[in-house]
Amino acid sequence: MKNKFYTFVAILATSFAGIFSATAQKSGPVIDTVLMGSGYNNEVYYSMSAGNRGAVNRKQWDIAFRASRMSASILTNDACNNNGIGLSGVELYAYPKADTSGWASVDTTGILAWKKLVNSTTDWETGAFCQNQKGHPDYGWGKYNTASHDVVGDSLFIIRLRDGSYRKLWIMRKYSSENKTEIRYANLDGSGDTRASVDCNAQADKNFVGYSITTNAEVAFEPVPSAQWDILFAKYMYTYPDGTLYPVTGVLSNYGVKVNKFEHVAPDYRMFDLQAMDSTRSPIGWEWKSLDASFIYHVQDSLAFFVQDKVGNIHKLVFTDFGGSTTGRIVLNKEMISAAGIDETGKSNLNAAIYPNPVNGTMNLVINPGTSKTAVVTMHDMSGRTVSANEYNLPVEVLSTLRIPVSDVPSGIYIVRIQLGANVISRKVIVNN
């Protein structure tokens, strides 16, 4: 008996790292509508718990500077098209014929063959200006100076604005200690030579500070501090694996927000912890919808996203309708399914393990239910369909073994969910009948 007990303890210790604590549902499903406006004119900043946090007219800025003094990222408004004249947005090119010493006499002959620089699809820290970076101390537009701790600009750029006009542009220096960036831009012939200092201190609680070359002024990039939003409904430039660029309308994630995506799942699918969550810029992206031959949008069915917000709560997100560029309307269904701050191991010995795994005929489920007297055990296939469901009465804080028949279950991979009071533990099992 003692050897068996130690075996159970070893099983529990081995599986302990796989626990993902979840609380019972904190709120019912909520249907919400996001309005980007005609032509997707507005970027909408959204909190998974609080809803719409404000919108910004995308066309008011040309470039944007990371507000953190520790970052050198600079974005372009690369997908903000001006439908009136059919341009795709702000375009940026690294000047290939000279470094900053060539400021006085730029030559744009052959510019149509130059590589267009756009923001990274997956990384906020790799803005368009940083695309040619080689790694520290080279950040694409300048190099880090070890003496001053500033990034000193060493590259020239040609930028085409939304009205079709061109400027030559030099990011001269980021003064890290002051959190200010000095820039210089002018018409190609040298007229309109302008120097500006973009001060990020006043907006240090935001991710980026926008700047309009057209109006020579700083503009709002975010309507609220970055801590108050989780996802962003926006147009952005998508880079296909073959390098093709295309402006799309979709959803971007804030710094610190994580997402899991599951396709071909049932409507009640809630198993968000089957894989590591994605903390990149666009795990939600734009491909949850498609346009048919009649130019009608369809939202992909059997698709669910799970969003871990900046606080740590887990929300299920399902898109149900997309109105296209006429209204920019997006309808979604959201539901908080797990609250942050639950420490199951700190409150009890709550745990569970399955042996053997793979199983054949009978599954042994070892449970310490903690302070809960009831365990609801459900088994789901990888599409989320419930294969079996049973309820068991257990002694509290005592290691118990449940023998659950699986002889009628087809061979495959399944998820066993054990609900113990307000907590849920998920375990993966392979059935090999």
Average pLDDT over residues 140-161: 96
Query: Is it the case that residue 86 has pLDDT exceeding 90?
Result: no
Chain-centroid distance, C-alpha 139: 23
Cβ neighbours around 191 below 10 Å, total: 7
pLDDT tens for each residue of 383-400: 778 889 899 999 888 888
| 346, 404, 423, 425 from 342: Cα distances, Å | 9, 29, 9, 12
Phi, psi of 192 (to 5 degrees): 65, 30
Element (H, E) at 9: helix 2-15
Check whether 326 has a pLDDT greater than 90. yes
What integer is the mean pLDDT of 333-358?
71
CATH domain 2-21+342-431 topology: Immunoglobulin-like (2.60.40)
Contacts 24+ apart (CB under 8 A), 8-17: 8/353, 8/366, 8/399, 8/401, 11/353, 11/355, 11/366, 12/351, 12/352, 12/353, 12/366, 12/368, 14/353, 15/351, 15/352, 15/353, 15/354, 15/427, 16/345, 16/351
Q: Which of the four pLDDT bands, split at 50, 70 and 90, describes residue 88?
A: low
Query: How is residue 255 written in tokens?
Result: 């710094």
Residue 52 and residue 228 in contact, taking contact as beta carbons nearer than 8 Å? no
If you average pLDDT over residues 193-205, what whole number do you get?
96
Domain boundaries, the chain: 2-21+342-431, 30-55+226-338, 62-219
Q: How far apart are CA 251 and CA 36, in angstroms?
A: 12
C-alpha 248, offset from chain centre: 16
CA dihedral for 102, 108, 110, 114, sign (positive or negative) = positive
> Per residue in 36-65, pLDDT tens?
999 899 999 999 999 999 999 988 999 999
Residue 154 makes CB contacts below 8 A (sequence gap 6+) with: 99, 100, 141, 142, 143
Tokens of 55: 């919108």
**Cα–Cα distance for residue pair 328/326, rounded to 1 Å:** 6
Rounded to whole angstroms, the Cα distance separating 347 from 26 reads: 20
pLDDT at 268: 85
Single out the residue of 237, 81, 97 nearest to residue 160, CA to CA.
81
C-alpha span between 187 and 189 (Å, rounded): 5
Q: What angle do CA 111, 118, 62 make, to 5 degrees?
A: 90
Q: Are strands 63-66 and 74-76 parallel, antiparallel or unpaired?
A: antiparallel
Q: Quick check: 230 pLDDT over 70?
A: yes
How far lies 414's CA from each of 203, 359, 417, in Å? 48, 11, 10
Confirm if 310 and 230 have CB atoms less than 8 A apart. Answer: yes
Residue 113's identity, in one-letter code, is A
Confidence check: pLDDT of 238 > 70? yes
- Sign (positive/negative) of CA torsion 253, 256, 262, 268? negative
Is the Cβ–Cβ distance between 417 and 382 less than 8 Å? no
CB atoms within 10 A of CB 228: 16
pLDDT (mean) for 142-159: 97
Q: Which residues touch 167 (CB under 8 Å, ≥6 apart)?
A: 158, 159, 161, 185, 186, 187, 188, 213
Across the chain, what does the average pLDDT equal? 88
pLDDT of 5 strictly over 60 = no
- Determine whether 272 is exposed, middle or buried from the number of CB atoms within 10 Å of its CB (0-12, 13-18, 19+): buried
**What is the 8-class DSSP label of residue 156?**
-
Tell me phi and psi for residue 106, to 5 degrees.
-80, 150
